[in-house]
Structure 1
Amino acid sequence: MLEELLIFTRGGLILWSSCRALGGAALKGSPIDALIRSCLLEERSAEASFSQDNYALKWTFHNELGLVFVVVYQRMLHLLYVDDLLAAVRKEFSQIYDPKRTNYDDFSDIFRQLHLEAEARAEEMKKSKQAVVSRPSPAASQKIGGRKVRGDSHGCAAGAKKGGSGKDDSDGDSGKEQHTSLANGTFKGQENGGLKKDNSHASDAVKGKENGGPRDNGAFDVNKLHKIRKKYRKNDATDNGNKKLIKPEPKKKGKPQRVWDDAPSNEKLDFTDPADERGDEVTEHVAVNQGESMMDKDDYVNSDSEEEEVEDAPKKKGWFSSMFQSIAGNNVLERSDLQPALKALKDRLMTKNVAEEIAEKLCESVAASLEGKKLGSFTRISSTVQTAMEDALLRILTPWRSIDILRDVHAAKERGRPYVIVFIGVNGVGKSTNLAKVAYWLLQHNLSVTLAACDTFRSGAVEQLRTHARRLQIPIFEKGYEKDPAVVAREAIQEASRNKSDVVLVDTAGRMQDNEPLMRALSKLINLNSPDLVLFVGEALVGNDAVDQLTKFNQKLADMSAVPTARLIDGILLTKFDTIDDKVGAALSMVYISGAPVMFVGCGQSYTDLKKLNVKSIVKTLLK
């Protein structure tokens, strides 16, 4: 059953709705709002369908008029006529559309007729398919020479002609020759009812001996094999004789061995941090003299540099024809016109470390948004595609919801509780180090911070976090190893609430996305403590693996959640951003997959090396 068909402009103005016009029941929830928010605004318009609650949604565009057509139906129903109906509605409504008109009540009768015709076509197609399936195959049973032969599992069956009568018992055709394909040849029906082998496709080795001896028909000759063996034996003997005359090369001198003193000096071998011996005096010096965090500094993009244009494929049209169409601006863009420029853009994105799946979806989305539009005057297809891709990347990387940590911390402080941030991620990405950078940034804004050592799995994790706490002169809550991290986090939050701490930063163990026990423990920690922010810490070096990591982390958190509304990843912290040069595609892949914004970027080894993501700079680098 069709629930609703909605027509609206890209600006959000609803022109016609089947529920309003035909008096249908209102939809439960807001599936169309979810489609706009989660799919259309996130450049996922090239996907086939979208699901929300119990509804399935499909859509199509009229890019020239700027219209969107959306149909909603029950997910459990497999309606065959939805695509056909959308195409018909799009065609009919575009003929009566007027930008100055806002009332289209007369379209209701047209829609009823289109709906009935689409259902009738779908029913007729369904019956025709059932008839084809129920009809026996012509080659299922044939008679060859008065004997019935059936097809085998390899498709070698049978379609031989009955001898003598000239009639075929399976399909009634007469006078036609049928063939039976076998592994090494083809058998043709003869008039006398016998079978003769057709050697046109058989192997030469099966032809047999006609004159009492083997023929040279391309088969391997054993005598040649013996000659080749004797030849190689002679060569090997010659080589062995020559080897005896060659002098062995002198061995190269290796690295000289290190000579250790009898009584090594402790000063030469002592590489411990002086802060460990001199105590709080040095740690206070380190914390004070680190300088201002780069989070509070703005990055400016140099807009003077020229952007490279996407090269078009070899043009099929002449120079004068393409130049005239560029000037006239009447050329309607088709999918075939966009493919060369989109392929060049896809290759460029993949060289910048964007996952192949993401690059493919982005290009499909851009093609869907441009197909049917008219090319502007003095405009090339490559520049049009480049502009559309740039707008799409800006929309994806720009957060659709604002997350201001400092504002949220003060709001939580007014309610008398600490603001809790949980850091999660895979092994070795730098969670503890970047947690300390975030703590340093918060300290600069006169906020009190408590660290929670909830990595009770990895050896040395508690000591590492303790070192950061001592350097930054902030308290740390720890319970050692082999403890339940969810309980440790809860007790740390309670302790921070008693001490009037503003922020609690929870460090968790690194875990691979396929580690079931550790993912279950992480889900328990998040569900038990309900943190204000869940930050996924990922490397900027990864490419396709970023998609797998974020997808499975979110999937595990959703599947193992004890509450109906599962808590997923809220933001991303990208580490090692200073090591990737212009390969910044991991940021795009992570944001596209999770929908969460990149809130922090780690770009160095000191506490001040924490920055905001400059969206314009990333987009410019991706398309450069």
Structure 2
Amino acid sequence: MLEQLLIFTRGGLILWTCKEIGNALKGSPIDTLIRSCLLEERSGAASFNYDAPGAAYTLKWTFHNDLGLVFVAVYQRILHLLYVDDLLAMVRREFAEMYDPKRTVYREFDGTFKQLKMEAEARAEELKKSKPVGKPASNGKRQGYGQKGGYDGGNKNRSEGGLANDGGDGDGEGRKMENGYANGNHVGVKDSKMNAVVKGKENTSSNNGAFDVNKLQKLRSKGGKKTDTVDNKVPKVETKKKITKKNRVWDDKPPPTKLDFTQTVDGNGNGNGNGNDNVHDVAEVHGESMMDIEEVVSSESESEDDEEVEKESKLDAKKKGWFSSMFQSIAGKANLDKADLEPALKALKDRLMTKNVAEEIAEKLCESVSASLEGKKLASFTRVSSTVQAAMEEALVRILTPRRSIDILRDVHAAKEQNKPYVVVFVGVNGVGKSTNLAKVAYWLLQHKVSVMMAACDTFRSGAVEQLRTHARRLQIPIFEKGYEKDPAIVAKEAIQEAARNGSDVVLVDTAGRMQDNEPLMRALSKLVNLNNPDLVLFVGEALVGNDAVDQLSKFNQKLADLSTSPSPRLIDGILLTKFDTIDDKVGAALSMVYVSGAPVMFVGCGQSYTDLKKLNVKSIVKTLLA
């Protein structure tokens, strides 16, 4: 049974809803669809599943892009209604005929909808009855043989899509097929190119490109002669004179003080006074953090890419002719269809993939853009490629723009008013730079007069505590540590309690790097997050990864959800993208990560010093992706 059918504009104005369906929906499936699917450029998907306490819905939708209308059908997932797609298409067609932008109420559509629903149900029943039911083979043949894609039961004719069985021709030799396979008969020697022995003699000819070692050895045995053409290509190496090893000179002088960056540290990670003269105020040593410097992106409108214009014009010329293509761009097209969009979308997909966007994400984006443009009228003096590119640009901006504002400084002061520290947990796979970028975030917070404490909860990797201790010493901030082989969840809890006693504003929790498939470490991470309920869970990922970013983020979120004991599990809240200065224009990992998780990129690491941390510039990323 259909639970609800809703018609609304892209601006959010509800025009009509089915009144004969009196069941109230549990939860908010329509709102979730808009937030999680339509606004996140996932409208190219076939359906959307919504789970609520006591109900599980499937939502399907279609658009009328020329009128800016959205049609959504909601039904119980267990029912598997077959007529929904047909019903949506008919409702879309009938409602478009009576739609008026000035009207907001369409009560007369109730009767039309009842008739359309009856027709769709009857058509689905007829289709179900007329559908043939497959019967098992009863002629003694194996199922799948004698059909397409299989063998023909020993007949001489080759079945379609399968392997040939032409039978032997009396000489004991079979035929080698085009796909590299042979039939059941013996394959003759003349057809086999992989034999090492032909007619009892070893194949020593050099026609196959192999290097003749015996010939080289014979030529080398002749002294004073050049061996082969291969030897002529090798540069002559002159005999070097024997170098005598020099005696080591031991210098008892201490190294220069300017190279001594170390500092004697006690068990708590604090300096004991030795070497403190070399550590000055952090702001004086490193300068201003790039987080507080606004990056300026050129706002000049650039002309369309020449190669794209040329490629699109060639495609249009081949398809409809030069005059037809030119007339279409001048007069405008009645409605865009899928065939018009495919060439431009394919070019955009290839371009996104060259910028390190995961293939799955690029394909879904193109499907979503296609769904938003099908049926839309092409404006005069406008090319299809420019229309598609503009739609893709809007889609990328919507994806990369955070759905909710996360202002750490504002949230820190709000937590301070409640007399509790603001807790940030850094998670991620091995070797992405969690500890280093944690120190960069600490440096940025220090510049805003926020007191910070580090928590060394990476009790798994050797040297992790010492690494974080070094950062704490250089930044002159306290660190809470308990050594190795301790429960990181308990260490984080004690660190938060210590910060509350000492009056620290922020606790930055460093965790061990773990692969997304490591079950014990993922379980430990879930325990840390559930026990301490941090204010922010930051996933630290590399900008170098492409398809792997999708797997990492999706599995981290999945594990945090599956292993959580709370009905509303904590997932990843934000992303810190490291090594951003090493990728040139391959910025697609940022798009892939945001698309998969829905979490914004809050920080971007772009160097080795503490100041090399900045915000993600959405306009710059979109410009680079589409360049």
TM tier, smaller: 0.7 to 0.9
- 1:436: Cα distance to partner? 0.7
RMSD of aligned residue pairs (Cα, Å) = 3.0
Deviations 1:332-369 (A, max 9, x none): 21111111111111111111111111111111111110
Letter of the structure 1 residue corresponding to residue 277 of structure 2: E
Counting matched residue pairs gives 570
**Distance of 2:123 and 2:155 partners within structure 1:** 46
Distance in 2 (alpha carbons) for counterparts of 1:232 and 1:394? 63
- Write out per-residue CA displacement over residues 21-51 of structure 1, whole angstroms, 9 at most, x where no aligned residue: 2251211110000000000000000011111
Residue 349 of structure 2 is aligned to residue 346 of structure 1: yes
The residue identity in structure 2 corresponding to 1:376 is A
CA contact 2:480–2:495 (8 Å) conserved in 1: yes
**Residue type of the partner of 1:97?**
Y
Shift in alpha-carbon separation, 1:385–1:264, aligned structure 2, 3 A: same
2:277 to 263, 277, 281: 281
Give 2:400's aligned residue.
Answer: 397
Match of 2:515 in 1: 512
Output the CA distance in 1 between the equivalents of 2:253 and 2:358: 51
The alpha-carbon distance between structure 1 residues 458 and 43, as it changes in their structure 2 partners (threshold 3 A), is same
Paired with 1:117 and 1:373, the residues of 2 have a C-alpha distance of: 28
Cα distance in structure 1, aligned partners of 2:81 and 2:477: 61
Q: Secondary structure at the match of 1:465?
A: helix
State TM-score, norm by structure 2. Answer: 0.85
Q: 1:409 aligns with which of 400, 403, 412?
A: 412
Q: Distance in 1 between matches of 2:237 and 2:255?
A: 34
2:595 corresponds to: 592
The structural deviation recorded for 1:600 is 0.5
Amino acid at match of 1:151: K
Query: Quick one: which of 184, 198, 208 aligns to 1:225?
Result: 198
Deviating more after overlay: 461-470 vs 251-260: 251-260
Q: How far, CA to CA, are the matches of 2:527 and 2:290 in structure 1?
A: 34
Note closer, same or farther for the CA distance 1:226–1:66 as it changes in structure 2 (3 Å cut).
Answer: same
Is 1:39 the counterpart of 2:37? The answer is yes
2:379 maps to 1:380: no
Show the 5 A alignment for 1:479-558: 479-558=482-561
- Aligned to 1:276, the other structure's residue is in SS state coil
Match of 1:22 in 2: 20
> What is the aligned partner in structure 1 of residue 134 from structure 2?
133
Letter in 1 for 2:221: K
* Cα 1:253–1:69 shift into 2, 3 Å: farther
- The answer to whether structure 1 residue 181 and structure 2 residue 152 are counterparts is yes
User: Structure 1 CA distance, aligned partners of 2:480 and 2:414?
Assistant: 24
Counterpart code for 1:457 = F
Amino acid at match of 1:388: A
Distance in 1 between the 2:563 and 2:152 partners? 55
For residues 539-578 of structure 1, the aligned pairs below 5 Å read 539-578=542-581
Instruction: State the SS of the aligned residue for 2:128.
Output: helix
Contact kept? 1:601, 1:613, Cα under 8 Å: yes
From 283, 287, 292, give the equivalent of 1:291: 287
Task: Sort the Cα spacing of 1:462 and 1:106 in 2 relative to 1 into closer, same or farther, 3 A.
Answer: same
Aligned residue in 1 for 2:82: 80
Q: 1:151 aligns with which of 133, 141, 158?
A: 141
Q: Is the 2:154–2:165 Cα contact (8 Å) retained in structure 1?
A: no
- Aligned-pair CA distance for 1:505: 0.5
Q: 1:228 to 1:488 in 2, by over 3 A?
A: same
Indicate if the aligned counterparts of 1:35 and 1:50 stay in contact, CA closer than 8 A. yes
Deviation string for 1:390-426 (max 9, x for gaps)? 0000000011110011111111111110100000011
Q: Return the alpha-carbon distance in structure 2 between the equivalents of residues 122 and 256 of structure 1.
A: 90
Residue 314 of structure 1: CA displacement? 2.1
- What is the match of residue 182 of structure 2? none
Alignment of 1:119-518 (within 5 A): 119-129=121-131, 131-133=132-134, 140-141=138-139, 150-153=140-143, 155-156=145-146, 181-183=152-154, 185-186=156-157, 201-204=166-169, 219-220=188-189, 225-226=198-199, 229=202, 232=205, 241-245=218-222, 259=246, 261=248, 263=250, 273-276=260-263, 278-304=274-300, 306-309=302-305, 310=308, 311-312=311-312, 314-315=315-316, 316-518=319-521
Instruction: Check conservation: 1:540, 1:587, Cα contact below 8 A.
Output: yes
Instruction: Map Cα deviations across residues 52-89 of structure 1 (whole Å, 9 max, x no partner).
Output: 11111111111111111101011122111111111111
SS of residue paired to 2:602: strand
Percent identity over the alignment is 68
Aligned to 2:267: none
Cα 1:436/1:247, change in 2 over 3 Å: same
> Measured at CA, do residues 232 and 370 of structure 1 come closer, stay the same or move farther in structure 2, by a change above 3 Å?
closer
Report the CA distance between 1:252 and its aligned residue.
Answer: 6.4
Deviation at 1:264, TM superposition (A): 5.5
- Give the CA deviation at 1:186: 4.5
Which residue does 2:177 correspond to in 1?
none
Corresponding residue number in structure 1 for 2:46: 48
Would the aligned equivalents of 2:455 and 2:510 in 1 still touch at CA under 8 Å?
A: yes
Partners of 2:296 and 2:503 in 1: CA distance: 38
Q: Distance in 2 between matches of 1:257 and 1:116?
A: 99
- 1:124, distance to aligned residue in structure 2 (A): 1.9
Larger Rg: 1
Any idea what SS the aligned residue of 2:548 has?
A: helix
| Cα distance in 2 for residues equivalent to 1:231 and 1:578 | 54
3-state SS of paired residue (1:55): strand
User: Contact 2:430–2:515 (CA<8 Å) still a contact in 1?
Assistant: yes
The whole-number CA distance in structure 1 between the counterparts of 2:171 and 2:485 is 72
Amino acid corresponding to residue 156 of structure 2 in structure 1 = G
Question: Structure 2: any 5+ residue segments left out of the alignment?
Answer: 159-163, 174-185, 192-196, 207-211, 265-273
CA contact (8 A) 1:325 1:331 kept: no
Paired with 1:236 and 1:319, the residues of 2 have a C-alpha distance of: 61
Q: Is contact 2:425-2:509 (8 Å) kept?
A: yes
Residues 455, 485 of structure 1: 8 Å contact kept: yes
Tell me if the contact between 1:204 and 1:219 (Cα under 8 Å) persists in the aligned partners: no
1:202 CA drift (Å): 3.1
Hey, what's the Cα distance between the residues in 2 that align with 1:482 and 1:386? 53
Aligned with 1:450: secondary structure?
A: strand
Give the aligned residue type for 2:404: R
Residues of 1 paired with 2:413 and 2:402: CA distance? Answer: 21
Quote the Cα distance in structure 2 between the aligned partners of 1:230 and 1:526. Answer: 67
Larger deviation, residues 370-379 vs 237-246: 237-246
Query: CA–CA distance in 2 between the matches of 1:258 and 1:559?
Result: 64
Per the alignment, residue 92 of structure 1 pairs with 94
Contact 2:605 2:614 in 1 (8 A): yes
Q: Is the 8 A contact 1:535 1:572 kept in 2?
A: yes
Q: Give the secondary-structure state (helix, strand or coil) at the position aligned to 2:539.
A: strand
Equivalent residues of 2:304, 2:386 under 8 A apart: no
**TM-score, normalised to structure 1's length?**
0.85
Q: Deviations over 1:375-395 (max 9, x none)?
A: 101000010011000000000
Q: Give structure 1 stretches of 5+ with no counterpart.
A: 142-149, 158-179, 188-198, 209-216
Q: Distance in 2 between matches of 1:31 and 1:3?
A: 11
Q: Deviations over 1:75-115 (max 9, x none)?
A: 12211111111111111111211111211111111111211
1:66 to 49, 65, 68: 68
Is contact 2:155-2:165 (8 Å) kept?
Answer: no
Q: Which letter does structure 2 place at the counterpart of 1:274?
A: F
Note the alpha carbon deviations across 1:569-620, whole angstroms, 9 max, x for none. Answer: 0000011111111111111110000000000111111111110111001100
The structural deviation recorded for 1:181 is 3.2
Q: CA–CA distance in 1 between the matches of 2:411 and 2:215?
A: 84
